[in-house]
Structures are given as C-alpha cells and as structure tokens.
Structure 1
C-alpha cells in the first residue's frame, strides 16, 4: 500500500509539472494529441469577464482571441436572405472641405470646343478624356461588390459659388458640370448654371443622384469630378465645394457623397457576435 501511494504521488507530480504527449515523444503543449480525439463529455473554457469556467450554450463555437488569451464561446449567425431579392450590403458617406476652383481660362475657348466636350458626356467615358475635369479630393473612396447582380446608388451634394458682382443687364452666369465616376468611368453627370443675383458672390446648392448596375465582383473606386464649361458676361472665379468669397465658409460649402450598395447575395458572409 505504501509503495502504491508513493507511486501515485510521483505520477501526480509528473503530471502536474510535465507536458503529456499521446502518440508523440515531443509534446508542444501540456496535452499534445497526435491523432483523432473523441470528446464524450463537456468542454469548458475560462470566462475572463468573471473568472469562471464556462461551457457555452447550444450552437456556440470556440473562437480564438489571439496568442496568450483563452478562447471564448461565440454565437454564429447566418443572415436570412430571400432568393433573387436585393439587400443592402454596404452603405457609407464621405465629406470634403477642400473642393476645387476654376478661373475663366479653364473652359473651352470657343463654342465648337464646348460642343465637342458635350459629346463625350456619355456613360463609360474615361475621366482622363474629359479635359480639365478636377476631382474633389476626399470623395474618392473604395467599396466592394460581392455579387455580380448589384445596384449602386450614390448621392452627391455640394455648394457652388461665383465671385459675381451684383447682377446687371445683360445677365452674368457660368455653366458647369459635375460627374460621378466609378473606376475612372463616367457613371452620372449633371450640367447646371450659376447666375449672378442682386447680392454679390452668389452661391447655390448642387445635388445629384445616380445609379450603376451589375458591377464586377471585387474592389471599386468611386470619385467626383467637376468642370467649368462656359461663362456669360463675367470673368468670375468659380468654387465647387469650397468658398471663393468670405460671405460663406468651408463648413457651409463642404461636399458630401453617400454610397449604398444593394445586392442579390451570392456570397453569404456569416456573422459572429
């Protein structure tokens, strides 16, 4: 009996202080199993929130918290999608206070040049071919499409200002254009006119909404670019998304771009919480 107690004491001490390997002579953890393992009882881990042993609940999985931290139980949820129905997969909004300015020399020199430029305002025209378009810096952003069946809605809003004198006879005004580009290709464009008023340094709100469909799966870039087109009886400076006279400021003139991506899901990304 004394020999048995002594042997158990030695084995217990060995178990406490050593690593145990099953089908391996060089265990790399306290218990290292080189082969299949069949667990017939419960599996518990330390809950660091209250320092208790926690067995988890039905349908939870063990998730690593990284080296040096115990794993935790997490619930795994798969979003419930209906077949052939669009769902909002991504939405975000961006702002910019830098904007861009144009002087009277940054526009087509004659009407024929303006007409030729207008002929380029078609879907898919590359940004590089639209001469003297300027991008609004912080509105160039990336988003991802997970499905080939998608609809991307975007809304661009900004403030446009001209350094006009008080309006006289004949009228003073400036034509301009702003386009939304996806992967450097024109997806939407609006042409507008800002006109001098009875007050000096007129400003207006510019708003445009558009959509692109069925982009390829992967990362895409959306951006906004604008251009001065033609002046009428004025050499005023034009500001888009920025102020060109101190009757307003950068907070008022800042630009916003909102992007919403709707998809018929083809990739089901599970959610763990």
Structure 2
C-alpha cells in the first residue's frame, strides 16, 4: 500500500510541477536527472510535422538541432583510412566576374623578375599586383602532412589593334598566394592578332606541401609587366572584358582548391 501511495504521489508531482528533478532539488529542465540513467526499452522522438513517433534506425544517433527545435535521428559515418595514404579532406571552388584591369600607367615597376618572383615572396614586395577579389577565400588544413592543389582559370583580353611588325603585345603574370605568400606564378604574353581586341584563356596549376594545420587564406593576384608598341589607351583586362566582343560571363575567373592529407584528426560525420 505504501508503494502504491508513493507512486501516486510521484505521478501527481509530475502532473502538477513544470520541472521535475531526480536527485536534485533545483531541476533545470522539465526532467532533470542528477545521476546515471538506465534505459531498458526505447527512445522515441516526436515528428512535429505529422505528430508521429520515430524510434530511429539501427546505429543511428540522437542529434540536437539547437534550442527550440526537437532532436532528430542521424546516421554515423566514419570513413576507413589506411595509414600513410593521402585522402581528399577539403575541396572547394570559387568564381569571380569582376576581375582586374590595368591601364598603360599601371605597369609593374619590378625590374628583376628573376629575384622578385620566388616561392614565398610576400605580395607586399610585388608592386603592381592586383587581387581578383572573389578568389580570396579561406581554406582548412587538418594534418601536418598534406598536399594542396590549386587550379586557376580565367580569360585575358586587351583592346589591342590588329597586329603589325614587329608584334604588338603585353606581358603579364598571375600568382597564387597562401597567406599573402607566393606559391605559384605563371608569366605569359598576350599578342595582337589578325583581328582586334585579342583574348586568350589562361590556365594555371599549383601545389604546396605541408601547410600548417588550421585556416589559411588563398588568393590570386595578377600584374601587367611590360607593353610593346601599345598606345596609352590600351587596357589589359584579366577575368573581365576590355572590349564588347566578349562579356563578363565568358571572362569570369575560377579557382579550385583540393587538400589531400594523411589523416591525423578523425571527426565523426553524421548525415
């Protein structure tokens, strides 16, 4: 009889009280258990869209969606890794339609390209380089052993006249930077052709090994290096158009970043 009365009193307490504490006099939620919890049957979650109860599937986890939202069942996926092998851990791609332009007076003042264009050169020591804004983005590295690949593509155009003799042309360079340090550079020449307003496709691939763990900033910057028999009004455009025979959709830039690592940190993944 005492047990029955105790159960009735406990049930009444659950009904009357907004918060119930077990082994605590100051519960902080609807049910606050201060101690071990042993479940012998099942946990179900209310689906608020159709008011059904979900028990989840085998090997699923109950995951919080944040304050004010009910938890949901998620499947745990832990990829299998072989020791000392590289795996694609981070990859992303970015695009930009704004690009950069250079007038005849914005030509780089770099005299010795042989000493200036070296791996690790800071962008502040490369006068005349302009960043392509939309390609400045963060990337993540989780291991001390990694290989990061960059693939940059854009269109380069100048409002050049029809070519003559000797050639009418412009030298330019584009560099890939990580944390403002040069990791890859390509120098090319845009030469006038038999038609005016010449444009070419520029492709560039770079790689750097063993970036430090953490977040880094990748960027692309270009420069006008030299001009040959060009008039003062000739504009060099990289990632944008210098004339109306092409548009910003055609000339847009893209940058793809892939980070391959020997895994050292294993983050559980749910879906």
- Does TM-score exceed 0.5, indicating one fold? yes
Tell me the TM-score normalized by structure 2: 0.89
For residue 267 of structure 2, what is the aligned residue in structure 1?
269
Classify 1:31/1:135 alpha carbon distance in 2 versus 1 (closer, same or farther; 3 Å).
closer
For residue 106 of structure 2, what is the aligned residue in structure 1?
106
Moved more, 175-184 or 95-104: 95-104
Classify 1:62/1:102 alpha carbon distance in 2 versus 1 (closer, same or farther; 3 Å).
same
For residue 144 of structure 1, what is the aligned residue in structure 2?
140
Report the Cα offset of residue 184 of structure 1.
0.4
For residue 202 of structure 1, what is the aligned residue in structure 2?
198
- Tell me which structure has the larger Cα radius of gyration: 1
> Given that residues 90 and 262 in structure 1 are in contact (C-alpha distance below 8 angstroms), is that contact kept between their aligned partners in structure 2?
yes
Q: Structure 2 CA distance, aligned partners of 1:8 and 1:242?
A: 77
Question: How large is the Cα RMSD of the aligned pairs?
Answer: 2.4
SS at structure 2 position matched to 1:174: strand
Give the total of aligned pairs.
Answer: 267
* Offset from partner CA, 1:118-150 (integer Å, 9 cap, x none): 321110000000011111111111110001111
Q: Structure 2 CA distance, aligned partners of 1:203 and 1:98?
A: 16
SS at structure 1 position matched to 2:106: coil
Report the Cα offset of residue 15 of structure 1.
3.6
> Given that residues 108 and 127 in structure 2 are in contact (C-alpha distance below 8 angstroms), is that contact kept between their aligned partners in structure 1?
no
Map 1:224-235 to 2 at 5 A. 224-235=220-231
Report the Cα offset of residue 74 of structure 1.
2.2
> Given that residues 117 and 130 in structure 1 are in contact (C-alpha distance below 8 angstroms), is that contact kept between their aligned partners in structure 2?
no
- Is residue 179 from structure 1 mapped to residue 175 from structure 2 by the alignment? yes
> Given that residues 101 and 238 in structure 2 are in contact (C-alpha distance below 8 angstroms), is that contact kept between their aligned partners in structure 1?
yes
For residue 52 of structure 2, what is the aligned residue in structure 1?
52
Q: Structure 2 CA distance, aligned partners of 1:142 and 1:167?
A: 42
Report the Cα offset of residue 55 of structure 1.
3.1
> Given that residues 177 and 189 in structure 1 are in contact (C-alpha distance below 8 angstroms), is that contact kept between their aligned partners in structure 2?
yes
Q: Structure 1 CA distance, aligned partners of 2:245 and 2:121?
A: 37
Where does structure 2 lack aligned partners over 5 or more consecutive residues? none
Report the Cα offset of residue 53 of structure 1.
3.1
Q: Structure 2 CA distance, aligned partners of 1:249 and 1:169?
A: 29
Map 1:109-128 to 2 at 5 A. 114=111, 116-128=112-124
Moved more, 129-138 or 17-26: 17-26
Classify 1:10/1:178 alpha carbon distance in 2 versus 1 (closer, same or farther; 3 Å).
closer
> Given that residues 108 and 128 in structure 2 are in contact (C-alpha distance below 8 angstroms), is that contact kept between their aligned partners in structure 1?
no
* Offset from partner CA, 1:40-89 (integer Å, 9 cap, x none): 33333334454333333333222222233333332222111111111111
Q: Structure 2 CA distance, aligned partners of 1:190 and 1:200?
A: 25
Report the Cα offset of residue 201 of structure 1.
1.1
For residue 258 of structure 1, what is the aligned residue in structure 2?
256
Q: Structure 1 CA distance, aligned partners of 2:169 and 2:133?
A: 26
Classify 1:12/1:223 alpha carbon distance in 2 versus 1 (closer, same or farther; 3 Å).
closer
